[in-house]
């Protein structure tokens, strides 16, 4: 059974409608787009009016924290009603909850027809056919991807020529697109489920990535974000080594090649692990004019003892060294980070180390999370689990400090002129165009002209932590 075979039940009839809901990280957005590409090649099209009229509802799920998992379960409950009204409706659950829970999730939610983990995406059309033929729920999880190497059904299914035709989940051409370059993670930070839900690192071939980016740029993309849980280790699996070579290795080489592509204006990547962050990578921000002037470099904690318990493999001092490399190359670079509060055993003193790090680095923005215990991870078994009330209190203190830093940074931007790449027009307020500076700040301007995809100088007039307002400079 291959992905190119058209569904015999529907080949002669109308196209089936698929409605996709995506939670979690950008990896999931990229995975949803790939699943849509596979479905489009198998007689499906995106439902224009949501879940109500869909033949297939695909939930692409996130498992990173318990709250994310709860959302999936409550959404499945709501979909039960739709399924009662339309017994032909198919429900597929993809993503990290599917991988982590497997068959157990179907026992809890028997309305699921297809359960498919992130390592089995290419099997989606075949699984749907199997479910339709047998009426039984089907499950595919795990990370056995040998079939994908020898016979990449996804690539064949979506294209007759050597280009990967990956549509956007919005169904429209998009100015900014994500391209997956590496799956999985080998790091096993003690709090994190990702190595369990997405498996070990597997890099995509460089030429395949370049073709996908070329296709997206030809179809209107101006900004590309290369994606992975750990982009810095791109290509190490292909080379058979564990550490990044001193010259920056395959990731720096890939970025340099992607940056050459004509029509591409901005290049970004996420997520970068400080452990594998090299000096040549920092240099690239200065030498490649297309590189965004922003990096997301998760530190998680400002305490060396906590970092050690998290098994992050870098110290605070090493993290600061990397920030220095970046700021030496591009003094105005915006740096964002992820922080976890209430990791098992975190003392008040250790928590305050994180506050001190924030004041020392002055992040442009942060994503701060309360530690969430994940079954199967090492930290779930650690002594000294922290109470919810302490986590909430620490999260609030941390966010309050960041709010002050952000407000100062925003005030400092007012009056400056920045190049803004416009990515969409507000649906609610037509004439309001939303774009981003190279430093990843969101900017809104009022214009009757179509600014989509253009990079234009904008004078920033005011702003808050969400977005800045500005005027086009003629």
- Which residues sit at the interface with ligand SF4, rule CB under 6 A? 185, 187-189, 192, 194-195, 229-230, 273
Tell me the number of residues near ligand 5AD by CB under 6 A. 12
Which is closer to ligand 5AD, CB of 22 or CB of 300?
300
The item of ligand 5AD, ligand SF4, none sharing an interface with residue 64, based on CB under 5 to 8 Å by kind, is: ligand 5AD
Structure tokens at 431: 């004439």
List Cα–Cα distances, 182 to 60, 208, 408, 469, in angstroms.
Answer: 18, 12, 36, 36
Yes or no: say if 434 and 444 are a contact pair by the CB < 8 Å rule. yes
The item of ligand SF4, ligand 5AD, none sharing an interface with residue 187, based on CB under 5 to 8 Å by kind, is: ligand SF4
Which is closer to ligand SF4, CB of 39 or CB of 96?
96
Q: Is 202 exposed, middle or buried (0-12, 13-18, 19+ CB in 10 A)?
A: middle
Distance CA 213, CA 323 (A): 29
The site map against ligand 5AD for 181-200 (x = CB under 6 A) is ----------xx--------
CB of 193 to ligand 5AD, least distance (A): 7
- Select from 169, 11, 17, 170 the least CA-distant residue to 89: 17
Please list, in sequence order, all residues whose beta carbon lies within 8 angstroms of the beta carbon of residue 382, skipping any fewer than 6 positions away: 190, 309, 344, 345
Decide if residue 369 touches ligand 5AD (CB under 6 A).
yes
Decide if residue 28 touches ligand 5AD (CB under 6 A).
no
Report which DSSP code applies to 14: P
Decide if residue 378 touches ligand 5AD (CB under 6 A).
no
Distance CA 139, CA 27 (A): 21
Region binding ligand 5AD by CB under 6 A among candidate stretches 216-224, 317-325, 366-374, 424-432:
366-374
The item of ligand 5AD, ligand SF4, none sharing an interface with residue 322, based on CB under 5 to 8 Å by kind, is: none
Residue of the chain from 20, 58, 59, 64 that contacts ligand 5AD (CB under 6 A): 64
Distance CA 181, CA 228 (A): 6
Which is closer to ligand SF4, CB of 200 or CB of 241?
200
Which is closer to ligand 5AD, CB of 191 or CB of 422?
191
Decide if residue 300 touches ligand 5AD (CB under 6 A).
yes
Yes or no: say if 255 and 267 are a contact pair by the CB < 8 Å rule. yes
Structure tokens at 32: 């949803």
CB of 60 to ligand SF4, least distance (A): 17
The residues with which 436 forms a beta bridge, in sequence order, are 421, 442
Structure tokens at 285: 């921000």
CB of 43 to ligand SF4, least distance (A): 36
Q: CB 4: neighbour CB atoms within 10 A?
A: 13
Residues engaged in binding ligand 5AD (CB under 6 A) = 64-65, 191-192, 298, 300, 338, 340, 369, 371-372, 374
């Amino acid at each position: 059974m291959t992905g190119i075979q058209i569904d015999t039940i529907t080949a002669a009839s109308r196209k089936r409608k698929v409605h996709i809901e995506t939670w979690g990280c950008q990896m999931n957005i990229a995975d949803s787009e790939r699943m849509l590409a596979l479905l489009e090649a198998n007689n499906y099209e995106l439902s224009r009016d949501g879940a109500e009229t869909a033949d297939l509802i695909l939930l692409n799920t996130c498992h990173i924290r318990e709250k994310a998992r709860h959302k999936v379960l409550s959404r499945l409950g709501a979909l039960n009603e739709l399924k009662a009204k339309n017994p032909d409706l198919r429900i597929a659950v993809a993503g990290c909850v599917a991988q982590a829970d497997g068959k157990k999730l179907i026992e809890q939610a028997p309305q699921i027809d297809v359960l498919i983990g992130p390592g089995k995406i290419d099997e989606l059309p075949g699984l749907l056919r199997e479910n339709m033929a047998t009426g039984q729920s089907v499950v595919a999880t795990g990370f056995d991807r040998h079939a994908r190497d020898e016979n990449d059904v996804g690539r064949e299914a979506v294209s007759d020529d050597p280009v990967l035709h990956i549509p956007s989940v919005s169904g429209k051409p998009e100015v900014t697109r994500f391209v997956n370059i590496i799956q999985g993670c080998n790091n096993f930070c003690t709090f994190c489920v990702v190595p369990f839900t997405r498996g070990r690192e597997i890099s995509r071939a460089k030429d395949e990535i370049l073709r996908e980016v070329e296709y997206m740029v030809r179809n209107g993309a101006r900004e590309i974000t290369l994606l992975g849980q750990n982009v810095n280790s791109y290509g190490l699996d292909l080379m058979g080594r564990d550490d990044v070579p001193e010259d920056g290795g395959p990731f720096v080489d890939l970025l340099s090649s992607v940056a050459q592509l004509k029509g591409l204006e901005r290049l970004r990547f996420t997520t970068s692990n400080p452990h594998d962050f090299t000096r040549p990578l920092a240099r690239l921000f200065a030498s490649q004019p297309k590189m965004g002037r922003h990096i997301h470099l998760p530190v998680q904690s400002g305490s060396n003892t906590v970092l050690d318990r998290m098994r992050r493999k870098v110290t605070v001092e090493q993290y600061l060294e990397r920030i220095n490399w970046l700021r030496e190359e591009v003094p105005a670079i915006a740096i964002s980070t992820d922080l976890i509060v209430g990791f098992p055993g975190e003392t008040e003193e250790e928590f305050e180390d994180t506050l001190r790090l924030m004041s020392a680095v002055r992040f442009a923005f942060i994503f701060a999370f309360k530690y969430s215990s994940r079954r199967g991870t090492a930290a779930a078994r650690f002594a000294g689990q922290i109470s919810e009330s302490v986590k909430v209190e620490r999260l609030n203190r941390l966010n309050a400090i960041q709010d002050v830093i952000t407000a100062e940074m925003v005030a400092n931007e007012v009056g400056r002129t920045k190049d803004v790449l416009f990515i969409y027009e507000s649906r609610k307020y037509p004439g309001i165009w939303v774009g981003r500076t190279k430093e990843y700040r969101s900017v809104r301007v009022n214009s009757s002209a179509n600014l989509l995809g253009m990079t234009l100088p904008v004078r920033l007039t005011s702003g808050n932590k969400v977005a800045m307002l500005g005027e086009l400079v003629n």
